[in-house]
Chains A and B, each alone.
Chain A
Amino acid sequence: MSGSGKLGVNQVINVMRRELSGYFSTPVAWVFIVIFLVMSGVFTFYIGSFYERGMADLAPFFQFHPWLYLFLVPAIAMRLWAEERRAGTIELLLTLPLTTAQVVLGKFLAAWLFIGLALLLTFPIWLTVNYLGNPDNGIIAAGYIGSWLMAGGFLAIGSCMSALTRNQVVAFILSIVVCFAFLLSGLPMVMNVFTEWAPQSLLDAIADFSFLSHFAAISKGVIDIRDLVYFSLVITFWLLANTIVLEIKKAD
């Protein structure tokens, strides 16, 4: 199929641009950004004890991001396909000369850039630590990159779940469940299920699936190529699954 090359990239960008403009012509975008900023502030200052710790870093800010994303990213992702189905525009979109992969990628990138924008708007907290002390800005940058990558993983899962069902609430709950499993797969409460019987290699593999451990590694300022590869693989896998699900269920 002639979806590759320059034309293919152009088509992805066309889809992405339309999606992004869609976010900002409805209140969804502003509501999401405001809630994201307020919640990350609440977590950082009240639960994370940002001031009381007396340390000039953003660890209390980043440490709650996985939990914030667990609910907010599925909220963004649930409408990706369910909304197209509800409005019937999926039929329009998929009968244009676009491949399913181009549409999936374009929609994903738009949502990911949008979350990236929300993340960038937390910059006052970065200004605050720099005003209060001398933080390691390299670590902070790594934290932002890791946080954005993790959001991409959640988003790819959510996008795939949204393609599975035309019901947004079902899509929302399904994505939370799958995201939760990915989030916790390295923690004892999940590992205990397997430790009794599973071989060590499987245990390592499961533990390695955890968003938390990979995110923790990056947000400590260590950008390991394996962590980057991990998130890229998670995103690729779920977007591929999304494409396949859509091919099968697009008319449902």
Chain B
Amino acid sequence: MSELKIEARVLSKNFGNIVAVDCLSFEVGSGEVLGFLGPNGAGKSTTMKMLTGFLAPSGGTASINGHDIISDSLAARRIIGYLPEGAPSYGEMTVRNFLEFIARVRGFSGGEARRKAAAAIDRLNLDRVPEQPIETLSKGFKRRVGLAQAILHDPQVLVLDEPTDGLDPNQKHEVRRLIREMSSEKIIVISTHLLEEVHALCNRAMIISDGRLLVDDTPAGLIDRSRYHNAVTLVVEHPERVASILSEIPQARKVELREGELTVFPAGGARLFEVISDAVKEHGWAVSELRLEAGRLDEVFRQVTQGAIGK
């Protein structure tokens, strides 16, 4: 296996007059966990449906390891494991029968198919429920069945559409752990509207809105774009008075008071934290909380996606 790569070239999709995906071009390489981030209806799912061969692009194309998704769709689909949105599966089948069906369609026969299904059951901790009809399972288990189906043939490329949507925090944690475990040596593309997920899972994030690629960066790089990056927040008695003093500091660009929290934004690359802690000592303020902000992903997300609508 030489290069492991997804390459999309001006990938586009229209539904009638509605442009769902607008000339999306990107490359993803081995070891990357790419998060598609965007508001609902941004075109994340549509892009994934095109990559996995479910929807034909209206324009442009993409290739998975050199296999074109239009002209060589079957070969492309063989190396992809796909979890569609909502993790659909055949509810009346038992977990084991369903996974063995997938294994056979994936080209494993007889004993090999049974071994692959058993291995996937093991990997996703489904060993308490293999003989249960899928429709009787809880949402978390159903999602795991969907993941088991996607990873069963140890695919080089994993495409997961909102893998943790609708799960409780414990289940989310577990699904993320599984994805992280698999992430080396593979390409993983996940879509999500949960910002924390990008932070927890991805080493690259693409913000998509109205079918267009707005930002392509690492999660850390995204956070750096936040105006909160390196800002200092404090909770203090008499915040109005403190605010007026702090706004005189040359390193502070702006001071905001919101819900009892005072946030000071740095001017340029100023190191505010030291300056403010010195000020606290000097004036003897009664500070109950003082923290350095890393940056807020949700704020970057809003800024980027709403800025795009404004344009």
- Interface of A toward B, CB cutoff 8 Å: 1-3, 7, 10-11, 14-15, 17-18, 21-22, 25-26, 87-89, 91-92, 94-99, 250-251
Contacts and interface: CB of A to CB of B under 8 A. Distances in A.
Contacts of B26: none
B92 interface: yes
A2 B77 contact: no
B54 A87 contact: no
Given A14-B105, A21-B93, A250-B54, A97 B77 contact: yes
B90 A22 contact: yes
Contact of A88 (B73, B88, B92, B93): B88
Nearest to B91: A87
Give chain B's interface residue range (CB within 8 Å of chain A): 20 to 34
A89 B88 contact: yes
Interface in B208-224: none
Contacts of B88: 87-89, 91-92
Contacts of B106: 96-97
B89 A26 contact: no
A98 B82 CA distance: 14
B35 interface: no
Interface of B: 49, 52-55, 73-75, 77-78, 80, 82, 84-86, 88-93, 97, 101-102, 104-107, 109, 133, 149
A97 B74 contact: yes
Among A7, A18, A96: residue with most chain B CB under 10 A: A96
A87 B92 CA distance: 11
B252 to A, nearest CB: 52
Contact of B52 (A11, A95, A98): A95
Contacts, number: 70
Contacts of A251: 49, 54-55
A89 B101 contact: no
Contacts of A98: 105
A18 B101 contact: yes
Contact of B93 (A3, A22, A97, A250): A22
A95 B74 contact: no
Given A250-B54, A251-B49, A95 B93 contact: no
Nearest to A24: B92
B90 A95 contact: no
B101 A14 contact: yes
Nearest to A94: B54
A220 B73 CA distance: 48
7 contacts: A14-B101, A21-B97, A22-B90, A25-B93, A89-B88, A92-B89, A97-B105
A47 B39 CA distance: 63
A2 B78 CA distance: 12
B90 A18 contact: yes
Nearest to A95: B52
Given A17-B101, A97-B77, 14 more contacts: A10-B104, A11-B105, A14-B105, A21-B93, A21-B97, A22-B90, A87-B88, A88-B84, A88-B86, A89-B90, A91-B84, A94-B53, A96-B77, A97-B74
Contacts of B86: 88
A18 B74 CA distance: 20
Contact of B78 (A1, A21, A88, A97): A97
A25 B92 contact: yes
Nearest to B74: A97
A134 to B, nearest CB: 46
Contacts of A10: 104, 109
A25 B82 CA distance: 26
Nearest to A96: B105
Among B82, B84, B90, B109: residue with most chain A CB under 10 A: B90
Contacts of A3: 74
Contacts of B74: 1-3, 97, 99
Contacts of B92: 22, 25-26
A112 B149 CA distance: 28
B163 to A, nearest CB: 14
Nearest to B82: A95
Contacts of A26: 92
Contacts of B77: 95-97
By Cβ-Cβ distance, the 7 closest A-B pairs, closest first, are A88-B88, A91-B84, A25-B92, A95-B52, A97-B78, A89-B88, A97-B77
A87 B105 contact: no
A95 B52 CA distance: 6
Contacts of B105: 11, 14-15, 96-98
A27 B264 CA distance: 66
B104 A14 contact: yes
Among A26, A87, A95, A250: residue with most chain B CB under 10 A: A95
Contacts of B104: 10, 14
A199 B77 CA distance: 51
